[in-house]
Amino acid sequence: MDGWDHCKFRVPLKNPEGNDSSTKKVHDSFWKSFEKPPNPVELLIKQDTDRKASLSLSSPEERLESKVLVVYTGGTIGMEYNEQGVLAPSTKPLNDKIRGNPLLHDKHYEVKTEEDDILVLPRVKDKKRVLYKVVEYTPLLDSSNMCQADWVKMSNHVKEYYERFDGFVILHGTDTLCYTASALSFMLENLGKPVVVTGSQISIFQITSDGVYNFLGALIFAGNYDIPEVTVYFNNKLTRGNRTVKMSVTEFDAFDSPNCPLLGKVGLTIDINMKSIHRSSQIKKFSVHNELCQNVGLLRIYPDISKQTIRSFMQQPMEGVVLLTYGSGNFPTNRSDLIEELKLACDRDVIIVSCSQCSRGGTSGTYETGKILTNIGIINGHDMTPEAALTKLSYVLSNTELSLQDKKDMMAANIRGELSTNLEHRDEDDLASTVAKSLHISGDQEVDKLKKILYPAILQSAVREGDIDKIKDMQNYGAELSMTDFDGRNILHTACSAGKLNVVQYCLESGVSVHTRDNYNISPLHEAIIADQHDIIKLLRKCGAHLTNEPMFLGDVLTNAAARGMVRRLESYLLAGVNLNQIDSIGLTPLHAAITNNQIDCVKFLLLQQVDARIKNKFGQTALDLGKRVQNNEINKLLGDTYLCGIEQREQ
């Protein structure tokens, strides 16, 4: 064992007095230990139709769950042919259609959650069971009718449900899907959870639809993978939202990411490109920037474009323009009249960004015909897509706290993975290849498996030593700090449990997610609570870390801590944002438990936190009633003083 009791919510092997030799398990009546899950080798979708699944099954593969919110905005995926013979939003609730599809809902799985209208995906091998809830817009929209107000609505939906769900799927029409995905990538600031946008070329109501598999894949990615950015899933490919472009109106393979590697791909296995995932490196909570500038536009340069066209396009109230130039950012140098109009616009503080009309590659200023734009103040957009450049302009220009130069600098910088950087990396295979040779291992797949074993082990060792330099060395060898071991733990888990505040700080600044839960459903915040690391809890909370357990389960661990006199543990839960009035599975509050077990220090602490002493247990007893039963004078005096103080406050 590694010093932990491996149960549903792991508890350190020590008693309230701090004697680490004690191995007593608590709440044996409802915490059941279970075996470690098998090593993940591949992910295959498997539907269980021969038995009823339950949260009480002994296999951890069956017990682990994640919750995904689905925001259904409209689009082809939910359309049907109307009386005029054209596709229009269906009058049938999508929820009902999904319930009847065994690929999208396992009707035999017993759901135990406080959320209503929950659907369940069939089991995915070695991964969490995905539970999901569909929120349907009224009215449903064709994506051609989407506007900035709809992006704000979607963003606010993510914000509203952010702490209740592990991931988000947005069902959207394909025509403006890239604009929405790009806009959301900027509006959702310090995002720590996956947001996957998808749709279909054929309605989900038709038998040949690609919508079922797009929806299925989006749910799996949103519910199981640490990819904390806005992505697009379509035709077995996961791409970065602000790097995605629509390439076809007729093919299932409708979207591509020409200038950015795929983030994931689904085949016989699900392959994730961990190196390409963009992570927030700011120690801030998730927030939504829901104000966008509407005074932006796209202007495509073409032969013989007139001076009057550019002049009229650049007039007030225009604040930002994406200029679609030839090739690598070229512009006709023999048109001094056009260049003069662009310069006048720049002098009026219109921010102009040059992007290529070509899908692959970007603007570089290699040729004289491109350099001239830089000389008059036009920003090089590099390999941004037009959709990303336009929505980024709208986002940046809406920030009134930034100066004009700050806005220009931000447009030229990579803030959400929307443009490529030219950073050089050390050969990441040096270490793994050297070890592989000594073990006579060959082949890319075998070396990759070795890295998944070797790198997390070395990183975990460095964390326990608090050696950040060694962690940085491993990064130079290609180790991703978000890599997990076979227990699903990353180095942030270990740093929190070991009390290494400096390592926790470095992990957060490097973009390691505070929301990742291991194979035992434990998050880094859980680890910090169990280890009573208050400074670490405060730091994690600054990043938006929160507990995802059902309230009654939190009640169980709170009453257990109170019954054992663990004041510091109660403080840990309080710092983590837990309500100390929460009742447990048998109707007790922590105050009830502390009084019943004569834990005076806990009673004092809870009363100082102004917990509600009037809450009744299932026998109708308040804390004051229980105090009389235990006949402890000190506890009764504390309760009596609190009761009288409460009466005085109410009278005032």
Q: Tens digit of pLDDT for each residue in 556-585? A: 999 999 999 999 999 999 999 999 999 998
Q: Are 178 and 212 in contact (CB under 8 A)?
A: no
pLDDT of residue 56: 32
pLDDT in tens, 439-489: 666 666 676 777 778 888 899 999 999 999 999 998 888 889 999 998 899
296-412: what fold?
Answer: Rossmann fold (3.40.50)
Percentage of the chain beyond pLDDT 70 is 84
Q: Are 507 and 492 in contact (CB under 8 A)?
A: yes
Taking CA atoms, 529 is separated from 2, 482, 600, in Å, by 17, 21, 22
Pick the more confident residue, 93 or 643.
93
pLDDT of residue 594: 94
DSSP calls for 363-414: ----SHHHHHHHHTTPEE-TT--HHHHHHHHHHHHT-TTS-HHHHHHHHHS-
Pick the more confident residue, 647 or 199.
199
pLDDT in tens, 503-515: 999 999 999 999 9
CA 168 to chain centre: 8
76 is catalytic: yes
pLDDT of residue 62: 53
Task: Output the CATH code of domain 430-542.
Answer: 1.25.40.20
Q: How far apart are CA 189 and CA 541, in angstroms?
A: 16
Q: Is the pLDDT of residue 399 over 80?
A: yes
Q: Which of 478, 480, 567, 569 is nearest to 526 (CA)?
A: 569
pLDDT of residue 47: 32
Which pLDDT band holds residue 413 (cuts at 50, 70, 90)?
very high
Which pLDDT band holds residue 633 (cuts at 50, 70, 90)?
confident
| Residues 538-557, mean pLDDT to the nearest whole number | 93
| Residues 7-25, mean pLDDT to the nearest whole number | 37
pLDDT in tens, 232-268: 999 999 999 999 999 999 999 999 999 999 999 999 8
Domain ranges across the chain: 65-288, 296-412, 430-542, 551-651
65-288: what fold?
Answer: Rossmann fold (3.40.50)
Q: Which of 558, 565, 500, 555 is nearest to 527 (CA)?
A: 500
| Residues 401-412, mean pLDDT to the nearest whole number | 96
What integer best gives the mean pLDDT of the chain? 85
Residues paired with 321 in a beta bridge? 297, 352
Which of left, alpha, beta for 343 (phi over 0: left; psi -120 to 50: alpha)? Answer: alpha
Q: Is the pLDDT of residue 28 over 70?
A: no
Which of 73, 76, 244, 516 is flagged as catalytic?
Answer: 76
On the question of a common fold for 430-542 and 551-651, the answer reads yes
pLDDT of residue 370: 72
Side-chain-side CA neighbours of residue 357 (13 Å): 11
Residues ≥6 apart with Cβ < 8 Å to 155: 184, 187, 188, 288, 289, 290
pLDDT in tens, 314-357: 999 999 999 999 999 999 989 999 999 999 999 999 999 999 99
Q: What φ, ψ does residue 93 adopt, rounded to 5°?
A: -60, 130
Task: Identify the DSSP state of 260.
Answer: S
Residue given tokens 């926790």 in the structure block:
504
Q: 551-651 domain in CATH 1.10.8.10?
A: no
Side-chain-side CA neighbours of residue 325 (13 Å): 36
